[in-house]
Amino acid sequence: MKNLKIIDRIYDPYLQKSLRSPLITVLIGPRQSGKTTSANSLLENIQDNRKFYLNLDSSFERERVRNNEHYLKEQIEEVLGFTLENLRETFYLFIDEAQKLPFVFETVKILYDKYPNILKITISGSSGLELLDKTAETLAGRVRILKIYPFTMSEASRYENIGGSEPAESLYKSIFSGDLNKKTLSLLLKESKPKSARKMQLIDKLITRSLFPPTFSKIEEHDISRWLIDYIDTYIERDMRNVKEIGNIEGYRKVIMQLSARVGNLLEYLSLGTDSGINQITAKKYVAIWQESLIGFLLSPFYLNVATRIKKSRKVYFFDNALVWALTGFKERKIIEASGEAGHYFENLVITDFIKWGTNLEKPPSFYFWEKSHVSEIDIVISSGGYIIPVEIKIAKTWDKRYLHAIDMFKEKHKGKKIEIPFSLIVYQGDFLMPREDVFCIPIWMLC
């Protein structure tokens, strides 16, 4: 049996803070990423007479709301024992799977506008695309959106009782603030080093293992492949089939499969469309929907000129390595390594970890890549707090001075352009070292 437990997630502080905000909190993220579990954990600490949970996954509940426009208000007042007009303390309303009953958004709007200071509303759903559409259409200007993704590496480490998220949190905060220095790294290394071997064993698994919470809490290791197949089928057949912009669901399925084969590579819509059996315009539309559903994303190239950045090709990534593994046919690990694809899996794991940590910050960093040539490429360029931080990602376990080449080319290219580069990073599987005062080589286990 799996060890069922609930761990602290990296976005919990933002969710707790949002509960004190007068705005409506909207939780979006891929199916099974932990939105409902975290919200329920927070609601456990709220008195029963100050909260109401409505799950619109239930057809019975949907029918009750549909047949009575005052249903929500009546239920809240039944819990309170008096009318909302007499409420003096905050009442918490949580609506799950809200996108399954579009009518409810109008009701939420009316309640929010009438009781903005005493009614705290949180909305969540497994179809982020539909949820965002309805939110933008009905609740514009009234919401605070939080993005919930599968586990980070450090959350997986916490769940496996290897270590907590605190060292990784400190490291990421120092990176995003531009304050990372040798002293900070030395302290974090001393704290994390004793668990580095176990963390490296976990990271090796995570090259193809899923980071979706149920694969840790409910699904046995030998059943994860089957779970991934069902997950993909549910995502495409249930979540995406009803999206009005998708007319050809099989064409969409082929696009997703082709995208998985292009992880870490530049996306060319013409070849994507040709390989998927659809035209280029439809390919662009499907990729936009794929991004909005939060299964994956495109990383834009770094240019100081924004107009140039928009025009250039972008790179493909998924928020869970195992989805890539499943969509490309569950290749054996030795085949992935022999074909050179392991580097793309490693890169995908690290880049998505950076984004998961940065996405819900008050001032989220922007992430790009930079490519001058095939030998002068920066995997991540972080723009945060006025700083620009180049990050190279190498699957190698040993240091090579050639890793400095792309960093030097990036600096040379932007010399005199009035951008501040406080330091550069190389994330790899080797030991910590500083080949120069301005370059930190960080073992990947420090992120875990």
pLDDT tens-digit profile of 338-374?
999 999 999 999 999 999 999 999 999 999 999 987 6
Q: Which residues contact 160 (CB under 8 A, 6 or more apart)?
A: 202, 216
* 441 phi/psi in degrees, rounded to 5: -95, 110
Task: Quote the CA–CA distance of 165 and 157 in Å, as a whole number.
Answer: 8
CB atoms within 10 A of CB 400: 13
Angle value at C-alpha 98, between 284 and 242, nearest 5 degrees: 40
pTM: 0.94
pLDDT of residue 3: 64
pLDDT of residue 184: 95
Closest CA to 154 of 172, 175, 141, 140: 172
Q: Domain spans of the chain? A: 12-147, 155-447
> Spelled out in words, what is the top-level CATH class assigned to the domain 12-147?
alpha beta
Task: Quote the CA–CA distance of 208 and 327 in Å, as a whole number.
Answer: 12
Task: Quote the CA–CA distance of 21 and 14 in Å, as a whole number.
Answer: 10
Task: Quote the CA–CA distance of 332 and 325 in Å, as a whole number.
Answer: 9
CB atoms within 10 A of CB 296: 22
pLDDT of residue 148: 94
pLDDT of residue 150: 97
pLDDT of residue 331: 96
pLDDT of residue 140: 87
pLDDT tens figures, 282-316: 999 999 999 988 999 999 999 887 656 555 789 99
pLDDT of residue 375: 65
pLDDT of residue 239: 81
The list of the chain residues with pLDDT below 50 reads none
pLDDT of residue 175: 98
